[in-house]
């Protein structure tokens, strides 16, 4: 896919990673709509990016991915503004093992499924769409168990399973769709400046982060662009790691022999 001229939606777009992905896409001359529940932060990012890339290239929509009706209205608003959606990045996520498990399920897994389904319905060529790419943001916890965050791990493992299941769909060519995954190891967001505080075993979590450190969100965003620009990326996971630790590793998520 040539990113230039394409229209992208990024959920959780007001966070550090969401903003990095938006900027990376805008630098490739895409049009980007940021979805987030943080109104002030979203409006601030919209204004900043519009001043740099142009007012017609960036928009912000106040959107709660757990609200199916509101999510659809925001998605339809992007279609009304730009005429299409070519790229859907489901990035919205929360982590808190101690307070609201249901919210993690509804945001991390439910929001990814809702966003993907909206994109599928709009993009699928067999129903009049133009095709497109869905990139879902999971985590290292979606690839291997992390005992300090078991519920979060469950949601991110679900994201991997959901995405891989769509990637194995034998009718994807007719639909004109691709499904990919990016699984970061660890990065900081303005909403969760210290993710260790939301784990069950804080000291153990700090030790895990201490061994590898935190990633630069820009590097993760670059991996998302890699997936978009690779026309053969369907069913591919990119597991990103902190600098110096083989940050980009492509793992084929589908088995053509099945």
Active site residues: 152
**DSSP, residue by residue, the chain:** ---TT-EEEEETTTSHHHHHHHHHHHHTT-EEEEEES-HHHHHHHHHHHHHHH-TTTEEEEE--TT-HHHHHHHHHHHHHHHS---EEEE------SSS-HHHHIIIIIIHHHHHHHHHHHHH-GGGT---EEEEEE--GGGTS--TT-HHHHHHHHHHHHHHHHHHT-TTHHHHTEEEEEEEES----SS-S-GGGGSSSHHHHHHHHHHH----HHHHHHHHHHHHH-TT-TTEEEEE-STTS---EEEE---TT-
Distance CA 223, CA 254 (A): 19
Interacting residues of 56 by C-beta distance below 8 A, sequence separation 6+: 31
Contact predicate 212/186, CB 8 Å? yes
Is the Cα torsion angle 181, 185, 190, 196 positive or negative in sign?
A: positive
């Amino acid at each position: 896919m040539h990113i230039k001229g394409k229209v992208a939606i990024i959920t959780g777009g007001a966070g550090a990673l969401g903003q990095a992905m938006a900027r990376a896409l805008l630098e490739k001359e895409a049009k980007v709509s940021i979805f987030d529940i943080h109104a002030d932060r979203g409006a601030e990012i919209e204004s900043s990016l519009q001043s740099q890339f142009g007012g017609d290239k960036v928009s912000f929509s106040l959107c709660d991915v757990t609200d199916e009706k509101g999510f659809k209205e925001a998605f339809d608003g992007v279609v009304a503004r730009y005429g299409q959606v070519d790229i859907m990045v489901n990035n919205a996520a929360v982590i808190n093992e101690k307070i609201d498990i249901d919210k993690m399920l509804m945001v991390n897994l439910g929001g990814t499924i809702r966003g993907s389904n909206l994109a599928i319905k709009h993009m699928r060529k067999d129903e009049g769409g133009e095709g497109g790419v869905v990139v879902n943001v999971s985590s290292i916890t979606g690839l291997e168990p992390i005992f300090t965050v078991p519920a979060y791990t469950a949601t991110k493992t679900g994201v991997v399973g959901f995405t891989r299941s769509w990637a194995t769909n034998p009718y994807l060519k007719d639909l004109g769709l691709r499904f990919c995954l990016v699984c970061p190891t660890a990065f900081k967001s303005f909403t969760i400046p210290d993710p260790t505080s939301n784990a069950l075993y804080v000291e153990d979590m700090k030790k895990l982060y201490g061994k590898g450190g935190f990633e630069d969100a820009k590097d993760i965003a670059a991996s998302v662009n890699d997936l978009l620009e690779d026309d053969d990326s369907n069913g591919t996971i990119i597991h990103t790691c902190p600098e110096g630790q083989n940050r980009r590793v492509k793992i084929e998520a589908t088995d053509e022999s099945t």
